[in-house]
Amino acid sequence: MATWSGGTDDLSSLEELLECAICKEMLTVPKMLQCGHTFCEMCLQGVYNASRQSSNLRCPNCRALTSVPANGISGLRDDFRANEMKAHSEHNVEEADVLYQQNTDEICDIQNTVDDMVKRQRDVKTKIETMQQQILQSYQQTEDGIKETATKMITSIRRQETDILCNLHQKRDEELEPLLKKIDTVEAFLVNAQLLKVSHNVAATNVALA
């Protein structure tokens, strides 16, 4: 396992430092060999069991030998540095979770605020559109009322015009009727007079011829 200074520049590679070269997972119960490499206790136990050696363990990385204590792999030196980094890593994860939750809450609050603003704007738009529709309907009703009133007035005027003209024609005919009768009488007289004159002329002619 590589060394770690604890600075912020090393945080990005912390997971790589805490990775077991055998199982490729984060170290569990880190045990350090005499060569300085660290592995999981269970992984070293598996390598030790497979090696069939009673007192030595060969490092999976550099192949250096490490003396195995009488109490076995569990008796190897604990890698406190790895444990410290692991604890620090877990702490960073917890802090990241907290920050993520805080950011999530803030994002949710912002989203809720935006949603409320959008809803209010939509409500305002709906009210404006409703007012616009009401104004248009009001003016349309007024226009229709004016047209209807004008149509009724025109119809009434035309009816009055018809009645007045009828009365006028009736009075005209009443005034002309006596005159027309007199004209008929005069014309009849003139026709009779003309006939009488012609009759006298014919009689005179007959006498002369006799």
Helical H segments across the chain, by residue range: 14-17, 41-51, 80-209
Amino acid at 86: K
**What number does CATH give the domain 8-78?**
3.30.40.10
Query: What DSSP designation does 19 have?
Result: B
Neighbours of 72 (CB within 10 A): 14
Amino acid at 103: N
Predicted local distance difference test score (pLDDT) of residue 136: 92
Predicted local distance difference test score (pLDDT) of residue 40: 92
What 3-state DSSP class applies to 159? Answer: helix
Predicted local distance difference test score (pLDDT) of residue 152: 92
58 has a pLDDT exceeding 70 = yes
Instruction: Report pLDDT digits (tens) over 124-171.
Output: 999 999 999 999 999 999 999 999 999 999 999 999 999 999 999 999
CA distance 161 to 111: 73
Q: What residue ranges do the domains of the chain occupy? A: 8-78
CA distance 45 to 78: 14
CA distance 86 to 7: 14
121 has a pLDDT exceeding 90 = yes
78 dihedral zone (left: phi>0; alpha: psi -120 to 50; beta): beta
Instruction: Report pLDDT digits (tens) over 60-107.
Output: 999 999 988 888 888 898 887 866 776 666 555 566 566 667 777 788
Distances (CA, A) of 193 to 8, 130, 186, 187: 148, 92, 10, 10
Element (H, E) at 57: strand 56-58
Predicted local distance difference test score (pLDDT) of residue 153: 94
Predicted local distance difference test score (pLDDT) of residue 90: 59
**What average pLDDT is seen over the chain?**
83
CA distance 150 to 130: 30
Q: Which two tokens stand for residue 58?
A: 């060969």
Confidence of residue 210 (pLDDT cuts 50, 70, 90): low
CA distance 17 to 121: 54
Instruction: Report pLDDT digits (tens) over 173-201.
Output: 898 889 888 898 888 888 888 888 888 87
Spatial neighbors of 26 by CB under 8 A, at least 6 apart, are 15, 18, 19, 20, 86, 89
